[in-house]
Amino acid sequence: MKECRVLTKRLCILPQSMEQIAALRDAEPDEEMRQAYGEMMETIRLLPGQEEWGTQWEIQLRGGSAIGGLCFKGAPDQDGAVEVGYGIDETYRNQGYAAEAVSGIVKWALAQKEVTCVTAQTEADNVISQRVLTKCGFVRDGLGPEGPLYRIRLEENSSGRTMDTDS
């Protein structure tokens, strides 16, 4: 896997290797999460040289403690869109870590030449996640299969690549 790291003020976000995902899957007591890790492993296999689009990225405090994770749900599509999902461990919620992690990974994603848009979905009643997305510059853009769909776009202009939060 390419060396990819996203550093923010308080966080270090690191993509996990196939071996790390397999260990998470094997240790996971929840069947739904075990299945999700298995799906990540299959996506990683299908994306040689682009594993960062299929793996989990561990969210760590700069001191090293893991506090959550996020992932892209596949490589950029033909329109340059990628979807991101994220979660913060309960102990670390309501401290701004989700918004900091999402902002950091969105900046990283939009800096990749093949990405023009990042999307995210939330459950309809997950108001906290919806607030995180709007705080990060996402705008509501209809409904997806999982619930409300949010989007942030990259716009090309004469001054370079910039995020467009008004679409």
pLDDT digits (tens, 9 = 90+) for 78-87: 999 999 999 9
Does any domain span residue 92? Answer: yes
- Residue type (1 letter), 60: Q
Kindly report the average pLDDT of the chain as a whole number: 90
Instruction: Summarize the confidence of residues 133-145 as an average pLDDT.
Output: 95
Determine the structural domain holding residue 106 and report its residue range. 6-164
Q: What is the CA radius of gyration of the chain?
A: 15
pTM of the model: 0.88
Nearest to 117 by CA among 141, 167, 142, 151: 151
Look up the CATH number of the domain holding residue 62: 3.40.630.30
Please state the domain count of the chain: 1
pLDDT at 165 over 60: no
In a domain, 97, yes or no: yes
What pLDDT does 115 receive?
A: 97
Which residues touch 6 (CB under 8 Å, ≥6 apart)? 12, 13, 57, 104, 105, 107, 108
Would residue 33 count as lying in a domain?
A: yes
Structure tokens at 27: 């240790």
Average of pLDDT values for 2-29?
90
* Number of H-type helices and E-type strands within the chain: 4, 9
Share of the chain above pLDDT 70, in %: 90
Taking residues 49-54, what's their average pLDDT? 93
At residue 155, the pLDDT reads: 73
Q: Please indicate, yes or no, if residue 1 is contained in any of the structural domains.
A: no
User: H helices within the chain, ranges in order?
Assistant: 18-27, 31-46, 97-110, 127-135
Query: What is the separation, in whole angstroms, between the first and last Cα of the chain?
Result: 34
The residue ranking higher by pLDDT, 25 or 167, is 25
